[in-house]
Amino acid sequence: MHIKSPSINFTSHNNIPLKDILKGDRAFYKQADYLQKTQNDFASKSCLPASFEFRTETRTLRTLKKVFSVIIFPIGIYKLIQVIAGKLIVQSSSPAMLDRSADLHNQIRNQINLESEFKYKRFTMDVDGYQIDATLVGRASTFDNGRWTLSTLGNADLCENSLAGPEFRKMLSELNSNGIIFNYPDVGSSTGLPNRKSIAKAYTAMLNLIEDKNKGAAAKEVIGWGHSLGGAVQGDSIRSHKFKDDIKYVFVKRQTFDELSRTITDLISKSSKAAGTALSFLTRILRWNQNTQKYSKELKKPEIILQTAEVSDYEILIDSSKIMSDGVISADVSLAKSLLDDTSCDKANKVFIGIPEGHNDPIVNMPFIAKHIEKMLKA
C-alpha cells in the first residue's frame, strides 16, 4: 500500500501554525476562555469543524471511485466486504465496545480533568473526506521542546479511555513528551469506513501534522507508540513514509502480532479450526493481512518491541525463550518471538523488552522503557 503525494492544508486558527499556539502569548491554554472552550469542545458528540486537511487524492477522484463502486457491482460488493471485515477487526461498531446511542465516548471525554497541569486541545483532521477525531495533550513546560508521541490503540478501544485514565499522562511525563491520540475511522466520533487504507492514511496524516514545520507542530523528535493492533497500524502506515533527516524517530510496538492472518488462525482455531482457517484466508484475500514482522524488518529507524515474558521485572531479551502469551497474543504469533527467531532480521536498531504485564494491563515500569527511548533518540 503506497500513499502518494500527501499534503496538509492549514484551514483554521486564524492561519496561525500549530506550533505557534503551543507557546507564548498565543498559546491556546493561556487564553481566558481556555477552560470553557475546551469543555464545549469535549461536550460535542460529533467531530469539531476540521482544523486541518490531508489529501492523497482529489475530490473528483474520490467521487469517481464511489460512482464506479455503485455502477460496477463486483467492486461495490468487494468494498462492502472489506468494510465488514474492518468492523470486525477494529470492532468500531461492536455493541460491547461502543453503544453509539449511549455516546460512551462522549461520556468518557467529559470525565477528563481539565484543571491539571496537562492541557488538552481536541481537533479534527479531514483525511480525504473522512473526519478523524483527535486530541493534543501536553504541558506548558514541554510544548516547545519538540518531542511528540503519536499513540495508536488496539481494537475495541477509544482514545477517550487513554485521555481520561492516568497511564497516558504518566507515559508522557516519563518521556517528557507531548502527545497526539486519535480514533480510527468509524470509531468514537471519527467518521468514514474502517478499511485498512483509511486507517493507515489517518495515521500518516497525524504523523505529517507532527512533522510539518510550516503548519504543524515542527517536531524534532517523534515517538510512535502502538499497542496491539495499533502496532500493526503504525508499521503499515510508515513503511512508505518519507522520514525527515532533521527529525529523530523511535517506534514502540507493545504486545503486537507478527501477521494478522496467523493471529486470527491462532485465536479462532481454539474453538473451530475450520473457521480459523477460513477467516485467515479471507483476511489475505481482502488485503487486510497486516504483516507487522515484514514491516519491522524493513524499518531502518530505531524500534522497541515489548512482549509479555516470564520475568519478574522488565528485562532486555536476547532470545525468545522467555516470551509467553499475554492473554490475547500467544507467544508463537507475537512480533517479538517472530523477529527474535528470524535469523535474517537485522536487530542492530531494535531492543526487545520482556514485561510481566498482560495484554491490557497498565505499564508499570515506564521509566525502564523511557530510558531506552531516550538512549535511542540521542544515538
C-alpha cell belonging to residue 281: 484466508
pLDDT in tens, 153-163: 998 899 999 99
Which helix (H) or strand (E) segment is 304 a member of? strand 303-308
Find the range with the poorest average confidence among 69-73, 104-108, 263-267, 344-348: 69-73
pLDDT at 101: 38
Structure letter (DSSP) for residue 187: S
Query: Under CATH, which number does the domain 7-378 receive?
Result: 3.40.50.1820
DSSP readout, 214-230?
SSS---SEEEEEEETHH
- Cβ atoms of 116 and 110 within 8 Å: the answer is no
80-98: per-residue pLDDT in tens? 666 666 666 676 544 444 4
Distance CA 51, CA 37 (A): 15
Strand partners, 151: 181, 225
The full set of domain ranges for the chain reads: 7-378
**What pLDDT shows up at residue 13?**
47
Given strand 315-316, what is the order of strands in its sheet? Answer: 7-10, 52-55, 118-127, 130-139, 178-182, 147-152, 221-227, 248-254, 303-308, 350-355, 315-316
Q: Where are the alpha helices (DSSP H) in 28-165?
A: 34-43, 59-71, 73-90, 104-109, 159-164
Kindly report, residue by residue over 132-173, the tens digit of the pLDDT.
999 999 999 999 999 999 999 998 899 999 999 999 999 999
Over pLDDT 70: what percentage of the chain?
83
d(CA 302, CA 116): 33
What integer pLDDT is reported at residue 110 of this predicted model?
Answer: 86
Q: Which helix (H) or strand (E) holds 109?
A: helix 104-109
Tens digits of per-residue pLDDT, 295-317? 999 999 999 999 999 999 999 99
Name 325's Cβ contacts closer than 8 Å, sequence gap at least 6: 308, 331
What CA–CA distance (Å, rounded) separates 218 from 147? Answer: 9
How many other C-beta atoms lie within 10 A of the C-beta of residue 60? 8
- Backbone Cα Rg of the chain: 20
Residue 71: CB atoms within 10 A of its CB come to 9
Q: Which of 36, 40, 17 is nearest to 27 (CA)?
A: 17
CA distance 287 to 270: 24
Higher-pLDDT residue of 19, 272:
19
Mean pLDDT, residues 164-189 taken together: 96
How many angstroms separate the CA atoms of 13 and 22, rounded? 12
> What does the pLDDT look like over 103-134, one tens digit per residue?
777 888 888 999 999 999 999 999 999 999 99
Are 163 and 137 in contact by the 8 Å Cβ rule? The answer is yes
- pLDDT of res. 140: 96
Q: What one-character DSSP code corresponds to residue 286?
A: T
User: pLDDT band at 102, cuts 50/70/90?
Assistant: very low
CA distance 326 to 309: 8
Considering the chain, what is the average pLDDT of its residues?
87
The tens digit of pLDDT for each residue in 251-285 reads: 999 999 999 989 888 888 777 777 767 777 777 77
